[in-house]
């Protein structure tokens, strides 16, 4: 499908090239969500939505895909098998890869091989936002790093800028790869980047992110969502009282996905 | 002036030829192509989100502001002048009433020659 927008971008790119050449819940229920909202409103401060992953509880359910499937069905994420063209919002990687800077020669096999849930880290200091030339990706007031597909020109700077590989580019029309299209959430089109949005559309309706809800429904309870700016929130207390990891801490991106091993 | 008559005749012929589509259309008694009939929602669906006349002129601007408010500011609903609270959604709300996109949006767009690319992504029917 050749749209006016693509045509315009191609022309613009051509013109630019010419110019260059010439010039040189289980834990936090909806009620806790409401409480944290009220608390923040009273304090007048913003929220800092975050996710905590209990990797041990998660790994106990071998092969479980409840959260991944829930997310991908909710957001019409296409299932493309080819690794080079696949689209993913949330998926699993081995701990050895996820925490490259934390494993060493004595780390045990169970730990190294443990599948760990990974997704956009919704960094407080997001490199993707800094490199996006159109502000298609931006930091929302409540913390989540958002994608505005309407402004995405498909330059993929953000894909390269993200240190976590959390962004996917639509190399082709995703529609044929979506089993059942849910009209409530627009699928994307060829030429735009997409990723986890922390379910902004669900949060707006007082619902938990789809992955967290699915994990709780499954009885695994490995995912905890909440507001880090609320000192009374369960997630804040958990992170304060246990040794948690954030991916590639040394980069200074300040991820808002916390892991306990 | 030599051959004044021929020059004037030639000029007149030229002008007549250039403007011929106009005269032919007048001769046929038409004011241009007939605007296509649009399939309007059943009255039970309720009134449009703005005055009908205003919508005809400005629905694209409304959609643009909805888009930015929802995606960039997280303001997903709005209260209309008559008190109804609606979700600012292209598929769910607009196409919830204007259920047959081809007989409404597309008919008019084809007539006026615009091709919005929104439906590269947005789903064309609220029902799936």
Three-class SS state of B113: coil
Digit-coded pLDDT (tens) for A222-247: 999 999 999 999 999 999 999 999 99
Residue B32 falls in which region: left (phi positive, over 0), alpha (psi -120 to 50) or beta: left
- Residue A16 pLDDT class (50, 70, 90 cuts): low
Give contacts of B67 with chain A, Cβ < 8 Å: 150
Give contacts of A140 with chain B, Cβ < 8 Å: 74
Which 142-181 residues of chain A touch chain B by CB within 8 A? 142, 146, 148-150, 180-181
**Predicted confidence (pLDDT) at residue A110 exceeds the cutoff of 90:** yes
Nearest CA to A7 among B47, B18, B120? B120
pLDDT at B126: 81
Nearest C-alpha in B relative to A180: B128
Interface test with B, best of A10, A37, A141, A183 (most B CBs within 10 A): A183
- Residue A252 pLDDT class (50, 70, 90 cuts): very high
Nearest C-alpha in B relative to A200: B74
Q: Domain A2-260, CATH 3.90.1200.10 — does that match?
A: no
Longest dimension (CA), chain B: 78
Phi then psi for residue A136, to 5 deg, are -70, -30
B92 touches chain A (CB under 8 A): yes
Q: Residues B27, B31, B32, B35: what is their CA dihedral angle, to the nearest 10 degrees?
A: -140
Which of B71, B76, B127 shows the shortest C-beta gap to A183?
B127
Cβ atoms within 10 Å, residue A16:
10
Q: Which sequence spans correspond to the domains of chain A?
A: 2-260
Convert B64-85 into a string of H (helix), E (strand) and C (coil): HHHHHHHHHHCCCEEECCCCCE
Nearest CA to A188 among A91, A138, A197, A129? A197
């Amino acid at each position: 499908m050749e749209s006016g927008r693509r045509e315009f971008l191609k022309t613009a790119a051509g013109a630019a090239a010419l110019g260059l050449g010439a010039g040189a819940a289980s834990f936090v229920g909806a009620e806790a969500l409401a409480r944290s909202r009220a608390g923040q409103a009273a304090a007048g401060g913003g929220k800092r939505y975050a996710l905590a992953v209990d990797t041990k509880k998660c790994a106990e359910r071998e092969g479980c895909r409840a959260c991944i499937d829930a997310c991908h069905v909710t957001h019409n994420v296409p299932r493309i098998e080819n690794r080079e063209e696949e689209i993913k919002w949330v998926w699993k990687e081995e701990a050895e890869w996820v925490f490259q800077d934390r494993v060493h020669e004595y780390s045990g096999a169970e730990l190294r091989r443990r599948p760990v849930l990974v997704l956009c880290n919704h960094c407080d200091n997001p490199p993707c936002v800094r490199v996006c030339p159109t502000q298609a990706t931006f930091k929302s007031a409540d913390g989540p790093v958002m994608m505005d597909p309407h402004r995405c020109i498909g330059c993929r700077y953000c894909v390269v800028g993200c240190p976590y590989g959390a962004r996917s580019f639509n190399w082709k029309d995703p529609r044929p790869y979506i089993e059942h299209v849910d009209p409530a959430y627009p699928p994307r089109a060829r030429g735009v980047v997409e990723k986890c949005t922390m379910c902004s559309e669900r949060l707006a309706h007082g619902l938990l992110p789809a992955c967290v809800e699915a994990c709780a429904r499954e009885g695994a309870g490995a995912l905890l969502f909440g507001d880090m700016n609320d000192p009374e929130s369960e997630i804040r207390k958990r992170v304060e009282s246990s040794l948690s990891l954030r991916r590639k801490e040394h980069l200074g991106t300040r991820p808002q996905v916390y892991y306990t091993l | 002036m030599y051959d004044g008559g021929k020059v004037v005749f030639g000029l007149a012929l030229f002008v007549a030829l250039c403007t011929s589509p106009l005269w032919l259309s007048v001769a046929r008694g038409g004011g241009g192509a007939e605007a296509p009939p649009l399939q309007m929602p059943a009255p039970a669906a309720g009134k449009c989100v703005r005055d009908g006349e205003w919508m005809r002129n400005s629905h694209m601007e409304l959609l643009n502001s909805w888009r930015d408010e929802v995606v960039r500011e997280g303001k997903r609903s709005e209260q209309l002048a008559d008190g109804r609270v609606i979700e600012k959604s292209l598929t769910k709300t607009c196409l919830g009433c204007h259920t047959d996109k081809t007989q409404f949006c597309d008919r008019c767009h084809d007539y006026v020659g615009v091709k919005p690319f929104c439906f590269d992504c947005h789903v064309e029917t609220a029902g799936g």
